[in-house]
Amino acid sequence: MRPFSTTVVGRRLVTDSIVEVSVARPPTFAFTAGQYMQVGLDQVTDRDFRGNSRVFSISSSPNDTETLTFAFRRSGSSFKQTMSHIEPGATVHLAGPYGHVTLTHLSRRPRVMFASGVGITPHVSMLRFATEEALSLPITVLYVVSARDRGAYLPEIEACARAHPTIDITVTTRMPSDNELNRARTRYANALWYLSGSPRHVTDATVALHRVGVRDDDLITEEFLGY
């Protein structure tokens, strides 16, 4: 789809450091759970050396025909400062969707989704979709947070696990041990692993998964840069 402009319809704090912005979804816009967009503004509060746009994962489900939602960690950048205070009615410019870390009705292999911090956002889209569509493939989520009250969307993703018997959620304040990762690997030997979060956490998880025998062909990573 060509780049398009749309209107902000809502903004809220997901945690004390993570902001969610909702925009109106055009009727013709289609995306797959797990994809991301380039989000741009006409102006920001001050000069931003990275420009007036950023890449954000879509956290809403493809089944939400009214809105698209994006969540991001607040920072000192002018772009994020502007987005953190954006008001309903403001215009944003979107391009996409992009990305191949996705979940669809055609997905057959089990998924193990490792995320740290705000890296949970693409998995939220996939978990919402899997729950709404009652997908049968097993999904295991390993979510690393600095503290439980700083975990984005925790009540909702835990509700997904309670509602859907094929979804299993583990929330931890530390990197899972090799034994814990190995249990996940042996439980679903043919799983596809989705890793998302800060570059350090993604690298650490990749190294640990190599140690327990997960192949590169079974790993798909997305690094969330803090800016």
Give the model's pLDDT for residue 225: 64
Tell me how far apart the alpha carbons of residues 130 and 161 are, in angstroms, rounded to a whole number.
10
Mean pLDDT of 59-82: 93
pLDDT tops 90 at residue 94: yes
pLDDT tops 80 at residue 48: no
Query: Model confidence at 214, in pLDDT bands (50, 70, 90)?
Result: very high
pLDDT tops 80 at residue 123: yes
Give the model's pLDDT for residue 150: 83
pLDDT in tens, 130-159: 999 999 999 999 999 988 888 899 999 999
Averaged confidence pLDDT in the chain: 91
pLDDT tops 70 at residue 1: no
Query: Model confidence at 45, in pLDDT bands (50, 70, 90)?
Result: confident
DSSP state of 63: T
Calculate what percentage of the chain has a pLDDT beyond 90.
64
Is the domain defined by 111-223 classed in CATH 3.40.190.10?
Answer: no
Query: Model confidence at 44, in pLDDT bands (50, 70, 90)?
Result: confident
Give domain limits for the chain: 4-98, 111-223
Residue that the structure tokens 């956290």 belong to: 59
Q: Per residue in 17-45, is it b (16+ CB within 10 Å) or e — as a string?
A: ebbbbbbbbeeebebbbbbbbebbbeebe
Mean pLDDT of 199-214: 91
Of 52 and 110, the one with more pLDDT: 110
Q: Residue 33: CB partners within 8 Å, gap ≥ 6?
A: 61, 62, 102, 103, 104, 125, 126, 128, 129, 130
Residue that the structure tokens 């094929």 belong to: 166
End-to-end CA distance of the chain: 27
141 burial via Cβ count (<10 Å: 0-12, 13-18, 19+): buried
Query: What DSSP string runs through 94-116?
Result: EEEEE-S--B-TT--S-EEEEEE
pLDDT tops 60 at residue 226: no
Q: Is the pTM of this model over 0.85?
A: yes
DSSP state of 177: P
Give the model's pLDDT for residue 13: 94
Give the model's pLDDT for residue 184: 86
pLDDT tops 60 at residue 227: no
Omega before residue 97 within 30° of 0, cis: yes
184 burial via Cβ count (<10 Å: 0-12, 13-18, 19+): buried
Mean pLDDT of 102-113: 92
CA angle 153, 36, 64 (to 5 degrees): 60
- Supply the angle between the helices 154-163 and 121-133 in degrees, to the nearest 10: 30
Give the model's pLDDT for residue 96: 92
Closest C-alpha among 212, 213, 202, 226 to residue 101: 202
Topology of the domain comprising 4-98: Elongation Factor Tu (Ef-tu); domain 3 (2.40.30)
Local structure of 37: helix, strand or coil: strand
Give the model's pLDDT for residue 176: 87
